[in-house]
Amino acid sequence: MRLIGHVPSESGALTFSDFLYVQGIHNQVEHEKDGWAIWIHSEDEIGKAKDFLQSFLGDPNDPRFHKHSQQAAEIKEKERQEDHAAKKRTFDRTTLFKSTTSYGIGPLTVLLTVASVALSGLLLTNPQSGIYEALRISSVKGALPEVMRWEVWRLFTPALLHGGWLHLIMNMWWLLDLGSMIEGRESSRKLLGLVLGTGVLANLAQWYFVGPNFLGMSGVVYGLLGYIWIRGKFDPSSGLFLHQQTVLVMMIWFFACWFQVIPIAIANYAHTGGLVLGMLWGFASSFWSKRR
């Protein structure tokens, strides 16, 4: 979905929304601090919808924008019935996963979560399984002999392992939320690129500055956080958004880890590498989106 603009009042937004529906333009209205946001489902309809919105804001009392509520309600009800009938005839993967978010839980996010839980569970319940040695970035400090032997998965796979159940739960919680937002608002392909890119850079940063003994998805999580934060800030039409409280909590934890407020081993360089790359990626994506 793409944001085309705001309408000051709720009644005006609903009136305009009904008008768009009658014109065949599916849309969604959401309340934001700047007013009532109008989101368009189809990229192909953005130009036409923006023209309609400009005309509506110029003259909200124009009769052509009014008296569409009944017709719009009938269209929505017909679509609801058709959708209900279609779901009865077909298998829908989304019925397997329930979510409180408007964008649902994406398939790639689920796959990453399942892989992390399975591999971390094996490591935590059976430390002698050899899974750590098979997936850690390297067995030595200052070199990557396994990677040079084409075991390239090691550049990413430390992110799938966790050293404790609380560590695993917290990272999966953030992954499900942030990953699903990117997958729902953009695509699984975009999420895959972000996860691999931030994961590899985060792991290399931690290995270079500290050594090979680390694990966890935190670098990826901070990468996704940085991407959504900056992309949403500079390109609100992307549909990506983080509440200021969420950013504040994550940044407090970021600096608390660096200053060792909690005396536990934390991969701070992985956090930093992932966050910086995510923020740069978010800014670059915002820039290119505006040029299109």
Top CATH class of 2-90 equals alpha beta
Asked if residue 153 lies in contact with residue 135, where contact means CB atoms within 8 angstroms, the answer is: yes
* pLDDT of the residue at 261: 79
Question: Which pTM does this prediction carry?
Answer: 0.65
Q: What is the CATH number of domain 107-291?
A: 1.20.1540.10
* pLDDT of the residue at 290: 66
> Who wins on pLDDT, 264 or 141?
141
Q: Which of 122-131, 136-145, 188-197, 231-240 has the lowest mean pLDDT?
A: 231-240
* pLDDT of the residue at 72: 79
- pLDDT at 114 > cutoff 90: yes
Residue with tokens 């909590």: 249
Domain coordinates in residue numbering, the chain: 2-90, 107-291
Residue with tokens 């909200």: 60
Q: What is the residue type of 148?
A: M
Centre a 10 Å sphere on the Cβ of residue 100 and count the other Cβ atoms it contains: 6
Instruction: Name, in order, each residue with C-beta under 8 angstroms of 206's C-beta and a sequence gap of 6 or more.
Output: 214, 219, 267, 269, 270, 273
Phi-psi label, residue 263: left if phi above 0, alpha if psi -120 to 50, beta otherwise:
beta
- pLDDT at 104 > cutoff 80: no
> Across the chain, what does the average pLDDT equal?
87
> pLDDT (tens digit, 9 = 90+) per residue, 8-57?
999 899 889 889 888 888 889 999 888 899 999 888 889 999 999 999 99
Q: Which of 18-22, 102-106, 283-287 has the lowest mean pLDDT?
A: 102-106
- Rounded to an integer, what distance in angstroms lies between the CA atom of residue 131 and that of residue 170? 21
Asked if residue 216 lies in contact with residue 167, where contact means CB atoms within 8 angstroms, the answer is: yes
Comparing CA positions, the residue from 122, 27, 15, 111 lying closest to residue 69 is: 15
Distances (CA, A) of 120 to 56, 207, 224, 240, 283: 55, 20, 21, 30, 33
Residue 13 sits at the vertex; the CA angle it makes with 8 and 15, to the nearest 5 degrees, is 135
Q: Which of 61-65, 84-88, 137-141, 164-168 has the lowest mean pLDDT?
A: 84-88
